[in-house]
Amino acid sequence: MITRIYEDYRRLSTNTAREMLRVVLEKPEAVLCLATGATPLGAYAEFVRQAKMQRIDFSGIRFVSLDEWVGIPPSNPGSCHYFLNRHLFQPLQIAPAQIYLFDGMSADLQGVCSRMDEHLEQLGGIDFLVVGIGLNGHIGFNEPGVAFDNKAHVVDLHPITKTTGQKYFQSETLLNQGITLGIRQLMDAKTVILMANGAKKTNIIQQALEGTVSNALPASILQSHPNCLAFLDAEAAAQLQDSSRRA
Ligand code: F6R
């Protein structure tokens, strides 16, 4: 894992966007899997801005879901669907045929998982993955205790995820389950960027990057990914022992 520490959120975002741009330019048929949430917002805004300015052709790029809340419709601004549409698919005018997302409203969630597994296999896996990290160390909705050989699965959300997840919703929302790609699929991604910013993430980032690799802290598995970049701002990196990694 290569760690890069940026002075602030703006630089973290710009540099993440640069990596994203590099992928879509180098591989016009790339498969992207992009986390939702607060962390990557600045990166996606910069990515869209640059992509439009450079008139990048997205017609061959494919997108797959990382995760979704179960029981939350795409029309809800707190859903991952809504986020991806608003911040990426609409501004980049991505055609529906290029997008494959989890349907968290389905009555057959196991079927949703199997179809995602099949779809991802047909695509040849993820080329480029962006993940954030939860305060409990989750990536996607791979919660503490998750099996590292899992593929797409439905998960009972961890109490911290239920609580912190409220920030995405306009009013208090019942969050019990999620649906997520599994660690095996994330570890198969050719390139991974783990992003974190802010003082709230300082402690969990230190454990994830420098602690023991364990499913008690799912993000720690990324230490053993052959091509994972940890992009951090100075606040999130504040407790890392090795601070020689400033960008
Ligand atoms: C969202 C996701 C989550 C978030 C994580 C951090 O699609 O997969 O794992 O990346 O909870 O969320 P923020 O960025 O809001 O702190």
Q: What is the mean pLDDT of each run of 10 residues along the chain (247 residues)?
A: 96 98 98 98 98 98 98 98 98 98 98 98 98 98 98 98 97 97 98 98 98 98 98 97 66
Task: Output the pLDDT for position 245.
Answer: 62
CATH class of this structure's domain 2-233: alpha beta
Distances (CA, A) of 87 to 16, 142, 220: 15, 23, 28
Signed CA dihedral, 95, 96, 98, 103: sign only: positive
Q: Report which ligand 1 atom has the smallest distance to the Cα of 161.
A: 11
65 lines ligand 1 (CB under 6 A): no
With tokens 């809340």, the residue in question is 69
For 10, 135, 145, 168, the CA distances from 233, given in Å and listed in that order, are 9, 16, 27, 22
* Lookup: tokens for 154: 């439905």
Distance of alpha carbon 168 from the chain centroid: 15
Cβ–ligand 1 distance for 80 under 6 Å, the answer yes
What residue spans define the domains of the chain? 2-233
Q: Rounded to whole angstroms, how far apart are CA atoms 237 and 2?
A: 13
| Rounded-to-5 percentages of helix, strand, coil across the chain | 40, 20, 45
- Among 65, 101, 164, 231, say which to mutate for ligand 1: greatest number of ligand atoms within 8 Å of CB: 164
